[in-house]
Amino acid sequence: ALAWTCAAVRDTSFQVRSASSQAELGGDLLDQRRAIPDASLLTLEGNVLGARPTAQSQGSEEESPLIAEDPLQPEWREMLGNGDLFSALVMSTLYSDLEGGAAIAVGQEAEVHVPEPAEETRRYRLLHRIGGGRRTSVYIWIDQANKTLVVAFGYLRNLKMLFAMIMKRRPVTIELSWRQHAPLRQQAANMAGYRDHRGQRTHLRQLVMMQFVWEQHLKVWGDVLARLSEELLRYEGAKVIVSGLSWGAVMAQIAGLRLRLSGIVPANRLWVPTWAPFRWTNAAGAAVVDEVLGSRFLQVILWVKDAGCDPVAGFPGRRAWKHPANTVLMDTARGELQRFTIEVCRAKMGIMRVLSRPLKVWREISHLHQVRPVMAAMKLAM
């Protein structure tokens, strides 16, 4: 792997000046990977560190991921420019059940005014409303003009749920199956039991997450899977965007992961952009997210230069909890993006810090963990 990396660097006339630079390059390569449903459990594209190089990875300077300075993959950069990311953020925040979405009935439309450079107005029709009350709210929208289904997860609904999450933050181990090459109609007819079909490969993946997170996911997962399967049969070939902010971001990440594992949505039609999440899994679970979703997953955390990032990104305070690899930091002042690192972020959300400096933590959360700052930073980033 080291020999291939050095050869690729030499071919693209890119000078690696230190061992730390090589480590960063390796991290960039790992972030670029995407899982391919194949007979091999870990058959990935050639741009993964340690895999055999492909012709594309050894191509010109413009194609090589080794010299890419942009922290966003080309697909995400395109979605940022054309307004897909901004629209997904609006649908999961301003049109959630705690905002304007409560006044919209199923079948009615909501408008999203996308700023420059796209500069357009999009119309989303509400197809399904799931959850509410003591459950996480989930809205499923359709943009028929762009043939896009948006599964938007809402916020944490009340303080009772917040306290329950703190009390039930102990880790639990979940075992999920990865179904590959599963026909959509066959899956939709048999999604309740997740029984194997003849000739279908199923692999097991283990996830460690907080008890409360898993309990809340189970309360809405069955309905989300059933309703989305119906719409995928109706809008064949539609792109699926699963999005959320804060608590909704965590729910969206788990739902997007399970949608890919179930085989309901093909990898080339699934996108999981999320904003301002907390850490809900450990290093092994983050590796599963990277393996299954690959470059189709994006996590954005707000930060201020020389002041650190959103403190919620450091919750829980235990070091065992980790963020997935494809995480970027967005500067609130300029909208600039850079790769997430612990040194830059410095997010601390332990119990002792909250108790010792409650006002400072609250100011940081109000400045970096609210809808308006995220929206303003997204407009600057576009």
How many angstroms separate the CA atoms of 174 and 213, rounded?
12
What pLDDT digit, counting tens, does each position of 138-182 carry? Answer: 999 999 999 999 999 998 777 777 777 778 778 888 888 776 544
CA triple 349-365-214, angle to 5 deg: 60
For 177, the enclosing helix (H) or strand (E) is strand 171-180
Q: What share of the chain is helix, strand, coil (3-state, %, to 5)?
A: 40, 25, 35
How many angstroms separate the CA atoms of 264 and 270, rounded?
10
Which pLDDT score, from 0 to 100, does residue 63 have?
37
Whole-number Cα distances in Å, 186 to 149, 177, 221: 21, 16, 19
DSSP annotation string for 315-369 = -S-STTEE--SSEEEEETTT--EEE--HHHH-----HHHHHH-HHHHHHHHHHHS
Q: Which residues have a Cβ under 8 Å from the Cβ of 48 and sit 6 or more positions away?
A: 29, 30, 32, 33
Q: Are the CB atoms for 127 and 112 separated by under 8 Å?
A: no
What pLDDT digit, counting tens, does each position of 31-83 carry? Answer: 433 333 333 333 223 333 333 334 443 443 333 333 346 788 889 999 999 99
Query: How does the average pLDDT of the chain come out, rounded?
Result: 74
Which pLDDT score, from 0 to 100, does residue 358 have?
62
* 148: its two tokens: 């896009």
Which pLDDT score, from 0 to 100, does residue 357 have?
61
How many angstroms separate the CA atoms of 195 and 193, rounded?
5
Sign (positive/negative) of CA torsion 21, 24, 25, 26? positive
| pLDDT of 84 above 90 | yes
* 250: its two tokens: 């965590």
Q: Give the mean model confidence (pLDDT) for residues 173-196.
A: 52
Higher per-residue confidence, 307 vs 330: 330
How many angstroms separate the CA atoms of 127 and 105, rounded?
9
* 109: its two tokens: 């439309």
Q: How many residues does the chain have?
A: 382
